[in-house]
């Protein structure tokens, strides 16, 4: 049926609200958080400083940074009840499903869930930011038949995550690469999962419900799930020698190539050069033939896609193999994205509620016309 009205499918091009958190500038392939270029933040800041910036609008001074980290460290430690439930999770479930369920569990456990005052929202945001890494790490260990490792309060955010997953902390170059990915993944305006969080918040529901819904949205391979799909693709391609032919065949058979394309950026994702450089550093630190293979393969896939279709890689393309080389299992990649994006989601819930208007667009009805019930 033809449309007599102008429908913006997928809300493409629609300005849905104001935001002061981040600015995506596709015309100059740039991205700022609270006015700071994401490349500068990735080079110069710890992820904790970026989280503070996203929530408070300014980078912290030394005293503010220490106070923020003290609160986060105090919030570490998920309950015995949650660990008991997690131990019973289906070991075959995707870690995004178990994380979604665990996050929802945090919401029913917290007696302040209904407190949506600015202070209440900030407290719960820091609580989720502190506990999500422990959920991701404990889930990884349970599914591998191992006991979880408790968080360590003297470790920084990223070091603590590696400690909880593997019981050891990798080289500083690996931590730096991980931190860069955390900073780049933190916030990206009205992407699907953030808009989901804002939509849920707009009915004046609670922040845990908003984040639970956002996790569900991020899981999809058209969004955050692409970082896992990229790694599956690289494994399927197998070698640099096979990469060009693989891509040409995939394009000839109209396959969607994971880690390429973007709704907003049409000539390159602002975050890709920084993440690609970090991925290359990981390859050099690891130094194995396998690592070099993934690097060379990814270069050929990128060049072929750009040459053939003019479609550029998005952040998931370099982030997926970088996480793989850090030793994470592929289904952990999108949960790791959640560990970072909780900052953006929570900031958007706060912003939405500070000036709330119920999100309720219109639909263009294309079903059957009005009719009478005619029973025989
Ligand atoms: C962190 C993130 O969420 S970043 C996004 C991660 N997602 C992915 O990497 C999944 C792969 N990419 C895609 O599916 C898409 O590029 C999206 C979903 C990201 C954006 O989609 P849209 O803005 O709706 O663009 P759309 O799908 O209309 O693409 C426009 C054209 O480019 C093509 N195209 C876009 N991306 C790709 C791709 N990855 N592989 C092959 N063709 C592609 C489409 O087929 C379409 O071609 P057509 O006009 O001949 O039909
Ligand atoms: O902005 C988008 O649509 C997807 C994206 O890159 C992100 O969420 O980081």
Residues 6+ away with beta carbon under 8 Å from 329: 140
Ligand nearest to the CA of 256: 1
Indicate whether 367 belongs to any domain. no
Residue 322 burial (CB count, 10 A)? 26
139, 163, 316, 348: the active-site residue: 316
Nearest to 102 by CA among 153, 159, 142, 50: 142
| 220 and 232 assigned to the same domain | no
| Nearest-angstrom CA–CA distance, 249 and 29 | 29
Q: Which residues span the domain enclosing 148?
A: 19-224+330-354
Report the DSSP beta bridge partners of residue 37: 32
Cβ of 342: how many Cβ atoms within 10 Å? 26
In a domain, 360, yes or no: no
Tell me the C-alpha distance between 58 and 110, whole Å: 28
* Closest C-alpha to ligand 2, atom 9: 188
Q: Which pLDDT score, from 0 to 100, does residue 258 have?
A: 97
- Tell me the three state secondary structure of residue 201: helix
pLDDT at 1: 46
What CATH number does residue 81 fall under?
Answer: 1.10.580.10
Residue 356: phi, psi to the nearest 5?
A: -75, 140
Of 196, 191, 248, residue with least CA distance to 222: 191
Structure tokens at 225: 């799930």
Eight-class DSSP state of 367: S
263 lines ligand 1 (CB under 6 A): yes
DSSP tag of 260: B
pTM: 0.97
Q: Do residues 319 and 336 share a domain? A: no
255 shares its domain with 338: no
Query: Which residues are CB-neighbours of 308 under 8 A, at least 6 positions away?
Result: 247, 248, 251
**Cross-strand pairs, 313:** 260
Looking at this predicted complex, what is its ipTM? Answer: 0.98
| Distance of CA 99 from the midpoint of ligand 1 (Å) | 27
Nearest Cα neighbor of 345 from 17, 13, 40, 55 is 55
259 close to 304: Cβ distance less than 8 angstroms: no
> Residues of the chain whose pLDDT is less than 70?
1-4
DSSP per-residue codes, 1-70: ---SS---GGGTT------SSEEEEGGGTEEEETTEEHHHHHHH--HHHHHHHHHHSS---HHHHHHHHH
Cross-strand pairs, 36: 33
| CA–CA separation, 323 and 347 (whole Å) | 25
Give residue-wise pLDDT tens across range 320-341: 999 999 999 999 999 999 999 9
Whether 100 maps to a domain, the answer reads yes
CB hemisphere CA count around 328 (13 angstroms): 29
Query: Closest-lying ligand to the alpha carbon of 270?
Result: 2
Q: Establish whether 163 is a catalytic residue.
A: no
For ligand 1, atom 51, name the residue with the nearest CA: 254
Look at residue 4 in the predicted model and tell me its pLDDT.
65
Cβ of 100 below 6 Å from ligand 1: no
Q: Note the pLDDT of residue 165.
A: 98
* Any ligand 2 atom below 6 A from CB of 343: no
For residue 262, indicate whether it is catalytic: yes
Domain membership flag for residue 316: yes
> In angstroms, what is the span from residue 319 Cα to ligand 2's centroid?
13
Do 79 and 39 share a domain, yes or no?
yes
DSSP helix/strand/coil, 313: strand
Rounded to 5 degrees, what are φ and ψ at 140? Answer: -60, -40
Residue 127 included in any domain: yes
Given 325, 345, 362, which residue is the final one in a domain?
Answer: 325
Q: Are residues 311 and 343 in the same domain?
A: no
Q: Which of 223, 262, 269, 348 is catalytic?
A: 262
Can you give the pLDDT at residue 5?
Answer: 87
Residues with Cβ within 8 Å of 349's Cβ and at least 6 positions away in sequence, in order, are: 121, 125, 197, 198, 201, 207, 210, 211
108: Cα within 13 Å, side-chain hemisphere: 7
161, 230: one domain: no
Q: Is the CB of 194 under 6 A from ligand 1?
A: no
Q: Find the CATH number of the domain harbouring 263.
A: 1.10.230.10
Considering the domain architecture, whether residues 138 and 220 belong to the same structural domain is answered as yes
Number of domains in the chain: 2
């Amino acid at each position: 049926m033809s449309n007599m009205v102008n429908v913006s499918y997928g809300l493409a091009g629609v300005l849905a609200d104001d935001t002061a958190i981040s600015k995506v500038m596709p015309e100059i392939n740039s991205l700022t958080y609270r006015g700071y270029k994401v490349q500068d933040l990735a080079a110069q800041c710890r992820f904790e400083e970026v989280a503070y910036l996203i929530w408070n609008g300014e980078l912290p001074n030394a005293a503010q940074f220490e106070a923020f980290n003290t609160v986060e460290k105090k919030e570490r430690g998920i309950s015995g009840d949650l660990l008991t439930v997690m131990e019973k999770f289906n070991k075959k479930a995707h870690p995004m499903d178990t994380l979604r369920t665990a996050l929802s569990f945090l919401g029913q456990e917290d007696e302040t869930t209904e407190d949506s005052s600015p202070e209440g929202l900030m407290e719960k945001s820091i609580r989720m930011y502190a506990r999500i890494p422990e959920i991701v790490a404990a889930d990884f260990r349970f599914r591998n038949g191992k006991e979880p490792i408790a968080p360590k309060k003297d470790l920084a955010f990223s070091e603590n995550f590696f400690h909880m997953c593997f019981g050891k902390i990798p080289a500083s170059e690996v931590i730096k690469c991980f931190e860069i990915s955390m900073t780049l993944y933190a916030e990206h305006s009205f992407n699907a999962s953030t808009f989901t969080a804002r939509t849920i918040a707009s009915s004046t529901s609670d922040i845990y419900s908003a984040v639970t819904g956002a996790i569900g949205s991020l899981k999809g391979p058209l969004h955050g799930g692409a970082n896992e799909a990229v790694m599956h693709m690289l494994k399927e391609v197998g070698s640099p020698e096979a990469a060009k032919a693989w891509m040409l065949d995939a394009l000839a058979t109209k396959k969607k190539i994971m880690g390429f394309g973007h709704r907003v950026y049409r000539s390159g994702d602002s975050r890709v050069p920084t993440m690609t450089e970090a991925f290359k550093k990981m390859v050099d630190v690891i130094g194995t033939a396998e690592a070099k293979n993934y690097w060379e393969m990814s270069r050929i896939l990128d060049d072929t896609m750009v040459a053939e279709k003019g479609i550029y890689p998005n952040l998931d393309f370099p982030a997926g193999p970088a996480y793989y080389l850090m030793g994470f299992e592929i289904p952990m990649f999108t949960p790791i994205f959640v560990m970072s994006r909780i900052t953006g989601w929570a900031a958007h819930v706060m912003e939405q509620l500070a000036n709330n208007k119920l999100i309720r667009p219109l639909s263009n009805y294309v079903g059957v016309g009005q009719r009478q019930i005619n029973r025989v």
